[in-house]
Amino acid sequence: MPDISHQEWRERAARLVPATAHRIGGTACDAGGDGFDAVSPRDGAVLARVPSAGKDEVDLAVAAARRAFDEGPWPRLKPAERKAVLLRWADLVERDRADLALLIALEMGKPVAEADGIELRAVVNGLRWYAEIADKGLDEAPRTADGSLALVTREPAGVVAAVVPWNFPLTMATWKLAPALAAGCTAVLKPAEESPLSALRFAALADEAGLPPGVLNVVNGPGEVTGRALGEHPGVDVLAFTGSTEVGRHFLRYAADSNLKRVWLELGGKSPNIILPDAPDLDAAADTAAWGIFFNAGEMCTAPSRLLVHRDVADRVVERIVARASALRVGDPLDPETEMGPLVSSRHRDRVLSYAEAGRADGARLLAGGASLDRPGFFVQPTVFDQVTPSMRIAREEIFGPVLSVLTFADADEAVRLANDTDYGLAAAVWTSDLSKAHRISRALRAGTVWVNCYEEGDYSVPFGGVKLSGHGRDKSLHALDKYTDLKTTWIEL
Ligand code: NAD
């Protein structure tokens, strides 16, 4: 992306006229209820009024996806042809990354440099990764007795509804859509109410890339209406969800009460980050702990929100984290120099601040932040508490904001006990120079991902997902295809 100054981003924002209509069957559709305002967290301004899909519009979208799956060309194309369309889509995202980055920064407050450099890079890489595996699949012919042949083929699972959050609006959509479409499924995407605009632009690029009408539909609207209608819809075969644990429970109920559609859940977390005194570089461990909790304003399912640090090195580590917190450039997401933007909404800001209040009330010691910023927009200061105990709310509940809870321990066994003392199991980390200890601790941690001497490492070849209340199933990697394909056995008498 070319170098764009803060002033020019602001000028582009002022000129922006985003598309707001649902995309159903390859065309724009602005039917539906009253609609809702897309509000920018950078200043509280209304960006656009967005139509809200009720049951009728969801019916239309699912019918379009159903037709495209049952009768359309997409599942029947040569895999290499599906690959070509997905690769074109990736190219178009690259072409329009400045526009997409602007939409993401405006609607959910991610610094524009990260929207481009991190989020859109992940989108482009994801589309290309699944495009490339679209024509690499092999089916099985197990050895059977003479006189018979058995074929085990992977069939596209049908219509996929993807219901996603706002924190990485297009990355989360890509994690669902890229493998689903590569496998030959068709889809209905339901973005979060906080990020309806970037998803519409993203889907328009898919149409431009040559995705046949109805293969990808987008409906916006409130979760309890639009999301629920998808969850209960008998025409949806697979429901792929990323979001909170509470809403994940709803989707399991919707499926149980409708057609038993397959439900995949990527949910919340309260990830422990264990720093042992023999960490290879304590300063690097502290810097990464600070980066991890403040990155994306802490609105990360994998945020290392519980720092478990050995008591012998706690002062040194915490002092460095507090210094980082104070030095962080918090500000306008349209400023390329900004390191942390606002929280996504005023409601979410108030929720995060209520945890700062709970931390104080429960007796934790506030070392940094703990308040909003005195400026328009939904900003919260980078916040650090130490003297946190395991029963405090700030040690147990997902805050989804820039709030770090520091707990100390005396030995590795206690660290593991504290780390696993949570309902969640998305991610964890351990910092040590002792290889055996790293392996032992990593095995003992109940989490979908364990990082050793690093945090937030990822790659499309590596699966991602959780255990316990963090959900089940894996996004990314070849394993994601399990979500969007069915195994079919065909017996042939020879
Ligand atoms: P959310 O659960 O409130 O909303 C997610 C999606 O569900 C949105 O599209 C929303 O409209 C929809 N929804 C809300 N209520 C619904 C209902 N009753 N029925 C059907 N759909 C409904 O989550 P959020 O606030 O958008 O995102 C934050 C949460 O997402 C955090 O808990 C975070 O940990 C989680 N998350 C998890 C991952 C992961 O990969 N595990 C990644 C990112 C975010």
Give the global pTM.
0.97
**What residue's CA is closest to ligand 1, atom 43?**
301
| pLDDT value of residue 422 | 98
Tell me the two tokens of residue 71.
Answer: 């009768």
Q: Is 306 helix (H, G, I), strand (E, B) or coil?
A: strand
Pairing assessment for the beta strands 272-275 and 306-310 based on DSSP bridges: parallel
Distances (CA, A) of 158 to 76, 127, 356: 12, 19, 45
User: Which atom of ligand 1 is found nearest the CA of 193?
Assistant: 11
pLDDT band at 31, cuts 50/70/90? confident
DSSP per-residue string spanning 360-422: HHHTPEEEE--SB-SSSS--B--EEEES--TTSHHHHS---SSEEEEEEESSHHHHHHHHH-S
Query: Is 266 one of the catalytic residues?
Result: yes
Give yes or no for residue 114 CB within 6 A of ligand 1. no
Q: What is the pLDDT of residues 61-92, one digit of tens each?
A: 999 999 999 999 999 999 999 999 999 999 99
What spacing in Å lies between the alpha carbon of 487 and ligand 1's midpoint?
29
Can 301 be counted among the known catalytic residues? yes
- Point out the catalytic residue in the list 119, 193, 194, 266: 266
pLDDT higher than 90, residue 37: yes
Mean pLDDT confidence for 336-354:
98
State which ligand 1 atom lies nearest to the alpha carbon of 269. 34
Percent of the chain with pLDDT over 90: 98
Q: State percent of the chain over pLDDT 70.
A: 100
Confidence of residue 33 (pLDDT cuts 50, 70, 90): confident
Please determine, for residue 291, whether its predicted confidence score (pLDDT) is greater than 80: yes
> Mean pLDDT of all residues in the chain?
97
Distance of CA 148 to the CA centre of its chain: 46
Residues of 438-458 as b/e, b for ≥16 C-beta within 10 angstroms? Answer: beebbebbbbbbbbbbebbee
Question: What would the pLDDT profile of 405-448 be if each residue is shown by its tens digit?
Answer: 999 999 999 999 999 999 999 999 999 999 999 999 999 999 99
- Atom index in ligand 1 nearest the CA of residue 221 equals 11
Nearest-CA residue for ligand 1 atom 14 is 223
DSSP-H helix ranges across 71-195: 79-95, 97-108, 112-114, 121-134, 169-182
> Is residue 317 within 8 Å of 285, Cβ to Cβ?
yes
Minimum CA distance residue for ligand 1 atom 16: 223
Q: Is pLDDT larger for residue 120 or for residue 2?
A: 120
Q: What is the mean pLDDT of residues 481-486?
A: 98
Give the distance (Å) from ligand 1 centre to CA of residue 266. 9
User: Which domains does the chain carry?
Assistant: 6-267+470-491 (3.40.605.10), 272-459 (3.40.309.10)
pLDDT at 32: 76
